[in-house]
Amino acid sequence: MSDFHSPSIAYTALAPMLCIGAAAIVGVLIDAFVPRALRWSAQIAAALLGLVGALIAVAVLAGTHTVTADTALSIDGPTLFLQGTIAVLGIGSVLLVADRSPALDGGAFAAQAASTPGSADERAGIQAGRIQTEVFPLLMFAVLGMMIFPASNDLLVLFVSLEVLSLPLYLLCGLARRRRLLSQEAAVKYFLLGAFSSAFFLYGLALLYGYAGTVSLSGIQAATLTGQHNDTLLFLGLGLLSVGMLFKIGAAPFHNWVPDVYHGAPTPITAFMASATKVAAFGALLRVFYVSFAGLGWEWRPAAWGVAILTMVVGSLFAVTQTDVKRMLAYSSVAHAGFILVGVIALNRSGLSGSLFYLLTYSLTTVGAFGVLTLVRDPDGEATHLSRWAGLGRRSPVIGSVFALFLLALAGIPLTSGFTGKFAVFSAGVSGGATPLVIVGVITSAIAAFFYIRVIVMMFFAEPVADGPIVATPGGATAASIAMAVAVTIVLGVFPQPILDMANHAAPFYH
Amino acid sequence: MIPIVVLAVLGVGFAVFSIIAGSLAGPKRFNKAKLESYECGIEPSPQAFRGHRFPVKYYLTAMLFIVFDIEIIFLYPWAVAFNKLGMFGLVEMILFILAVFVVYAYVWRRGGLEWD
Amino acid sequence: MTSTTHYVAATGVFHLTFLLVLLPTVGAAVLLLGGRRTNPWGHLLGCAMPILSFVIGVIEFVALIGRDGGQSRQLDQHLWSWVPAGSFHANVNLLLDPLSLVFVLLITGVGSLIHVYSVGYMEHDPDRRRFFGELNLFVAAMLLLVLADNYLVLYVGWEGVGLASYLLIGFWSHKPSAAVAAKKAFLVNRVGDVGLSLAIMLMFTTFGTFAFDGIFNGAASGHAHSGTMTAIGLLLLLGACGKSAQAPLQSWLLDAMEGPTPVSALIHAATMVTAGVYLVARSAAIYDVAPHARVAVEVVGAVTLVMGAIIGCAYDDIKKVLAASTMSQIGYMMLAVGIGPGAYAIGILHLLTHGFFKANMFLSAGSVMHGNNDEVNMRRYGGLRKVMPVTFACFSFGYLAIIGMIPFSGFFSKDKIIEAALDKGGFEGGFLGTIAIVGAGLTAFYMTRLMAMTFFGVKRWPKDVHPHDAPRVMLIPMAILAFGSLVAGYLLILGGSLQHFLTPAVGGSVEVGAHTISPVVLSLITLAVVAGGVTSAWYLVARKPIPAEPPTYVTPATKAARASLYGDAFNEGVFMRPGAYLTRALVFFDNRGVDGLVNGLAALVGGTSARFRRLQTGFVRSYALSMLAGALALTATLVLVRVG
Amino acid sequence: MRVDYYLYLSAVLFTIGAVGVLVRRNAIVVFMCIELMLNAVNLSLVTFARMDGNLDGQIIAFFVMVVAAAEVVIGLAIIMSIFRSRRSASVDNANLLKY
């Protein structure tokens, strides 16, 4: 055993994560000590402060390249880009969560998660206007995990941050105020499958540790270069490790949880999962494959091609016949995972920056789209069935047009951010020698465009349904979140250059 | 080697013998007191729900125990290598314990430690 | 083209180029987002925007004529940097050169007239404002398409016109047929769009740029693999086929007639459907080095030109006949641009003259429908020349132009195409030339049939219909276009002026030495064929009374009716039975084959989706199973790839 | 003594756990099977640490235990809540979300 030496920790470089962590802990303390009446606003303030602080810290740190905490964390361009993205998404999601305006019937979350659905206890809780303020600390802990995930420079930190981001999400999924059975079912499914996938991830970690004798990404890379180790361990480990990460990004055949969980979870949480989780998980996936296994590209590419093709096809094909808007968006997020995988597989600098950019554009549009979903309501909650959306665009043109914009962006129509993102990823794919993959991508995008456009047609061309859903006037928070998404979607479609440059400068990884 | 094997065989044999012999030889007269959970002679409280389900309070307490128990796992190696870890280790461990205490405060304030 | 392509920066009046696109965009934005407040004056704004664009176009045209010839007439206006892709930055630039300017004038000129016409045509429609908004959106997108200086911006315009076309076909969405037609147009166009986007990707990987100049210079340098160039050419052709309704992607155009007639005139006759021709003409430099792709263009053009003409013989719906004729005429244009150097300009010439006479005929048909309670079945017309004299006059100009009668515009452009086809020489030239001549005969036949059924003979409209000429706001645009159908040919052909003008963009005319057949003789032959078509149509259709119902629907009850039916069925057979079979086969193929393919594709996707979504059973354990299977497959692949 | 037998044992345990997840219906048992998988991994980690002669594997095993404990707490809370509303802990009964 070698002598212990204290690791040097560059606390300034960790500032974004420390901000979030502090906000989360403060959130716990608020729940413990602040009187009930003030808790809600105090929680919002703490969460937003933490997120804004993290965003500022990211901006100040821009350009940093450092490996700190004894090679456990790498603060480099991609990390900061993704952390900034996650902070922005966190702000958007917190705003969605925070909206408890009467038009939304008091928000999306259960008065008391522990009370049984339909019980007197539950009714009493709702009447007393009780609310679960733990949502915010849970959200912040999830954000913390997401911030660490793409920064992890060794597999152990990767595993721990994976769990830190997952565990609060499992709980958050089960907290819906309405349709609680669906919500609880979503939580159980997500939890069991998530834990199952973590077990695979962990076994992969163990095998790679056995292969390289270390869990640091650079160490594993070094071991792959010497080629003097047991290859079977390496590839088994790599495969199992990938399962864990592919599960989180929702790639087929590990995608089954996505539609069910996105459907059942409270919509603001769905927005958060569909955007921020995906960003973080792709960040980690990119780092692992670009840092540790870049030299083995020829070996893992065939499998990755299969996964990417399957994901794109499954996502866009299954979405075609969905009749629920929320579920359709869930499948669309599967398809988008496939598109981003094209950028990952490109395995070059433009693949990395293209993926980073795509993540930013896709995730913000997604937050906006789910934000709109929270506004279209029936008496018993959100009206997500497609037939209820008929003629919506005629009755409330603004919300209809905003949602149409998001759908067009998701479909990748030019002059929206979605086109720029898709373009960046696909051109990287072509230059990375993955032309057939790009062709599949283009074809599946054409299929995907069909179902996005179908919703638009439904909203604008179909006769409005007689007792159609009410389009709630958004509270300030939701409006702010959606407005942010609209602005980004348009600006990144028309003037993407500054952000594309940022993504270009962010690459490559530093380790 | 052989003494160990002999000892093991004897030990296992004795255990098996006692259990079998006890069940064969002992009288089988059951009453309420014998069927109850053993709680040092104190009346177990509260009773299990309709005979087969325990109130959620037990679960809560057990969970809190697990969570706070598990911190030992980090304290123990730190204590073993305390000398080598020095100031850095001390500071980090204090931070860790503070974080655990925040959660403890939360549980305490929100009534997680109250039995009723 | 051996000379390198180089665009000079826009100066002076050419700084206004961006306004061409911006004005209609603003119009569309105001009208679509402004809501009901804009109802009272919406249509006026809608008309003003394309007219203003047209004025700017004319000013720039004058200015461009004033410049020296050659490359100084290709002006590039830089707007902003859009997508930095790798080391290369795709800019949003507008290219004003003779080719794009010709299109600008066509789009804004004809577009303005049709906007004005729509003021009258859509007067009683409650959604007139939205109509003008979408029409403006179309004009903006179409202008962006033709003014783009790189394929990426072109693609934006391409998608934009597709979107506007889709919205406008389905404008009367309360009609299920309109909604179905819109969906079909969308599906078929997606097939083409995939081709175009793949072509763009391939060009980018081959040449590292999207810009026209970079790609054309790269192509001309001959470094690229010829197979790659052929692939690019074919993919571009696929895109062009989708947009321009060329075989095998033609079927959506007939259904697109569900849209309001001004839309059919502007989008599905004069402008958008010619975008494919524009694309091929613009990509001349690529086709110059991809001879195989060029042959494919010719074949597509020739096939469509005959197919469209035959389909035109079969329909009783006046708009569908015109739509089939559009397919056929675009087939001529495709044939011309496929023939290549020297014929590009001829294709564009035909595109321009066609823009005039076809828009004219559509608007006139709209006027006929307007006066007949929106009836489209020609069997319910008859003898309209007396009650709708102005419409009849206008339509006649279009008719004479399309059949290529001296001295109407179609004569000049179509004859030139036939001439160019024959001049290719050899089997290819003879074959294509013959097809073009046969097509001219067929065109004469079905157009005469249309004229005879609509304007001549006895009246067959129901008693409660009182046909009348349209209001003046509709007649004036028709008259202007009719005048254009007469004179456009001279103006454009005078001293080869258009060819000369277009030279910098598509290359000069190449004199092929001796003509295969002397142009005069050829003109005479063509005219004879056309006269044959006219006469046979007159003999077969106009001489006998036309039953109000098409033959198949008539009950066998009345013997007299049956007798006339047999005659009619006989007459309907274009050139006796084989012709009839061919016609029906083609219509069948068009309805079942291609539609079947498209619907089949959609059904395949939908069916697969419906079947496989059952895999999402809702059971956690089956999800876990799929994960485990996935994990096994993944690791097995990884390990096997290593071993293998 | 050959250490790699422990690796085989660990793989067997992992597989038993994975199969258990697939075949058992009770959510608690499914969850226990997942815990078995985690602990099988721990065995591997400790074995590799022994083979390589460094302590990393053992430390990682500690972390795994902590994470597993946290997972237990959260998982049981979720399973408890769905059990209370459905009166059943069978994962096959939770089947409202599908297709």
Q: Region C507-534: what's the mean pLDDT?
A: 76
Chain C touches chain D, with at least 3 Cβ pairs below 8 Å, answer: yes
Instruction: Give every CB contact of residue C345 below 8 A, 6+ residues apart in sequence.
Output: C498, C499, C502, C503, C506, C509
Q: Region A339-368: what's the mean pLDDT?
A: 92
How far apart CA C448 and CA C538 sit, in angstroms, is 7
Whole-complex ipTM: 0.87
Q: How far, in Å, are A237, C169, C316 from residue A76 at the CA level?
A: 26, 52, 70
> Residue C332: what pLDDT?
92
Residues of C within 8 A of A240 (CB-CB) are 631, 635
CB contact under 8 A, A33 and B99: no
In this structure, which amino acid lies at residue B56?
V
C619 touches chain D (CB under 8 A): yes
Lowest mean pLDDT among A424-438, A457-471, C559-573: C559-573
Q: Locate tokens 């019980």: which residue?
A: A119
Interface of D with C in 2-21 (CB under 8 A): 18, 21
Nearest chain A Cα to B109, which residue? A32
Tokens at residue D78, please? 């979720």
Q: For the range C589-593, what are the long-range contacts, defined as Cβ-Cβ under 8 Å and sequence gap of 24 or more? A: C590/C250, C590/C251, C590/C254, C590/C307, C590/C311, C591/C251
CB contact under 8 A, D81 and A167: no
Tokens at residue C105, please? 């004038």
Instruction: Give every CB contact of residue C596 below 8 A, 6+ residues apart in sequence.
Output: none
| pLDDT tens sequence across C109-133 | 999 999 999 988 888 888 888 889 8
> Residue C503: what pLDDT?
76
How far apart CA C454 and CA C466 sit, in angstroms, is 15
C613 touches chain A (CB under 8 A): yes
Distance (Å) from the C-alpha of residue C153 to the closest C-alpha of chain A? 9
C603 touches chain D (CB under 8 A): no
> Residue B50: what pLDDT?
55
Residues of B within 8 A of A7 (CB-CB) are 88
Question: Measuring CA to CA, which residue among A187, A177, A95, A94 is closest to residue A143?
Answer: A94
For β-strands C75-85 and C8-9, DSSP reports them as: parallel
Lowest mean pLDDT among A371-380, C19-28, C147-156, C596-605: C596-605
C355 versus C251: the higher-pLDDT residue is C355
Of A6, A7, A29, the CB nearest to B102: A29
How far apart CA A185 and CA D81 sit, in angstroms, is 10
How far apart CA B77 and CA A278 sit, in angstroms, is 36
Of D38, D48, D85, the CB nearest to A209: D48
CB contact under 8 A, C619 and D96: no
Distance (Å) from the C-alpha of residue C190 to the closest C-alpha of chain A? 6
Residues of C within 8 A of D99 (CB-CB) are 613-614, 616, 618
| D neighbour chains, 3+ CB pairs within 8 Å | A, B, C
Contact C103, C348 (CB under 8 A): no
> Residue B51: what pLDDT?
52
Q: Region B26-34: what's the mean pLDDT?
A: 75
Tokens at residue D42, please? 């721990």
Of D60, D75, D81, the CB nearest to A114: D81
In this structure, which amino acid lies at residue D90?
S
Instruction: Give every CB contact of residue C310 below 8 A, 6+ residues apart in sequence.
Output: C442, C574, C582, C583, C586
Lowest mean pLDDT among A496-510, C179-193, C241-255: C179-193
The CA angle A147-A150-A151, to the nearest 5 degrees, is: 80
> For the sheet containing C88-96, what is the strand order?
C8-9, C75-85, C88-96
Q: How far, in Å, are A144, B38, C392, C467, C475 from residue C470 at the CA level?
A: 70, 102, 11, 9, 6
Question: Measuring CA to CA, which residue among D25, D29, D4, D28 is closest to residue D92?
Answer: D25
Residues of A within 8 A of C173 (CB-CB) are 461-462
| pLDDT tens sequence across C272-288 | 888 999 999 999 889 98
> Residue C510: what pLDDT?
53
Residues of D within 8 A of A163 (CB-CB) are 67, 70-71
> Residue C593: what pLDDT?
54
CB contact under 8 A, B102 and A28: yes
Nearest chain C Cα to A463, which residue? C174
Tokens at residue C205, please? 């990987």
Q: Is the pLDDT of residue C251 over 80?
A: no
Q: Which domains, ranges and CATH numbers included, belong to chain B?
A: 2-109 (1.20.58)
Of B59, B67, B73, the CB nearest to D62: B73
> Residue C10: what pLDDT?
77
Q: Locate tokens 């307007």: which residue?
A: C370
The DSSP element (H or E) to which D23 belongs, if any, is: helix D4-23
Of D41, D55, D97, the CB nearest to A264: D97
pLDDT band at A315; cut points 50, 70, 90: very high
Q: Is the pLDDT of residue C570 over 50?
A: no
How far apart CA B113 and CA C480 sit, in angstroms, is 90
Burial class (CB in 10 A: 0-12, 13-18, 19+), D33: buried
> Residue C429: what pLDDT?
84
Contact C555, C280 (CB under 8 A): no
Residues of C within 8 A of A443 (CB-CB) are 194
Contact C372, C461 (CB under 8 A): yes
- Backbone φ and ψ of B78, nearest 5°: -65, -40
| pLDDT tens sequence across A180-218 | 888 999 999 999 999 999 999 999 999 999 999 899 999
D46 touches chain A (CB under 8 A): no
| pLDDT tens sequence across C449-466 | 888 888 888 888 787 788
Q: Is the pLDDT of residue C572 over 50?
A: no
Residue A9 CB neighbour total at 10 angstroms:
15
Residues of B within 8 A of D31 (CB-CB) are none
Whether the bond into C98 is cis, omega within 30 of 0: no
Contact A139, A108 (CB under 8 A): no
Chain C touches chain B, with at least 3 Cβ pairs below 8 Å, answer: no
Q: Locate tokens 């790839």: which residue?
A: C641
Of B86, B99, B105, the CB nearest to A6: B86
Instruction: Give every CB contact of residue A294 below 8 A, 6+ residues apart in sequence.
Output: A221, A347
How far apart CA D62 and CA D10 sit, in angstroms, is 17
The structure's pTM equals 0.79
> Residue C125: what pLDDT?
84
Distance (Å) from the C-alpha of residue D32 to the closest C-alpha of chain A? 10
Residues of A within 8 A of B86 (CB-CB) are 6
D25 touches chain C (CB under 8 A): yes
Q: Region C24-34: what's the mean pLDDT?
A: 86
Question: Measuring CA to CA, which residue among A414, A403, A395 is closest to residue A455?
Answer: A403
- DSSP labels, B34-80: HHS--STTSPPSSPPBTTTB--HHHHHHHHHHHHHHTTHHHHHHHHH
| pLDDT tens sequence across A370-404 | 999 998 888 878 888 888 888 888 788 888 889 99
| C neighbour chains, 3+ CB pairs within 8 Å | A, D
Nearest chain C Cα to A182, which residue? C618
Instruction: Write the DSSP symbol of residue C148.
Output: B
Question: Measuring CA to CA, which residue among C188, C87, C301 is closest to residue C597?
Answer: C188
How far apart CA C24 and CA C50 sit, in angstroms, is 6
Q: Locate tokens 């963009």: which residue?
A: C505
Q: Locate tokens 């920066």: which residue?
A: C9
CB contact under 8 A, A167 and D74: yes
Question: Measuring CA to CA, which residue among A386, A354, A373 is closest to residue A485?
Answer: A373
Give the up-direction half-sphere exposure of residue A191: CA atoms within 13 A in the CB hemisphere: 35
Burial class (CB in 10 A: 0-12, 13-18, 19+), B4: exposed
Nearest chain D Cα to B56, which residue? D80
Q: Is the pLDDT of residue C603 over 90?
A: no
How far apart CA C104 and CA C142 sit, in angstroms, is 9
Q: Which domains, ranges and CATH numbers included, belong to chain D?
A: 4-86 (1.10.287.3510)
> Residue C107: what pLDDT?
92
Q: Region C39-60: what's the mean pLDDT?
A: 90
| pLDDT tens sequence across D48-93 | 998 888 888 999 999 999 999 999 999 988 988 888 888 888 888 7
CA dihedral sign of residues A182, A185, A191, A196: negative
Residues of B within 8 A of A32 (CB-CB) are 102, 105-106, 108-110
Q: How far, in Å, are A392, C161, C167, C171, C195 from residue C138 at the CA level?
A: 24, 5, 10, 13, 22
> Residue A211: what pLDDT?
92
Q: Compute, in degrees rounded to 10, the torsion defined by CA atoms A406, A410, A411, A415.
A: 70
Buried b (16+ CB within 10 A) or exposed e, A23-46: bbbbbbbbbbebeeeebbebbbeb
Q: At what angle do helices C226-244 and C318-339 cross, to 10 degrees?
A: 160
The CA angle A451-C613-A261, to the nearest 5 degrees, is: 85
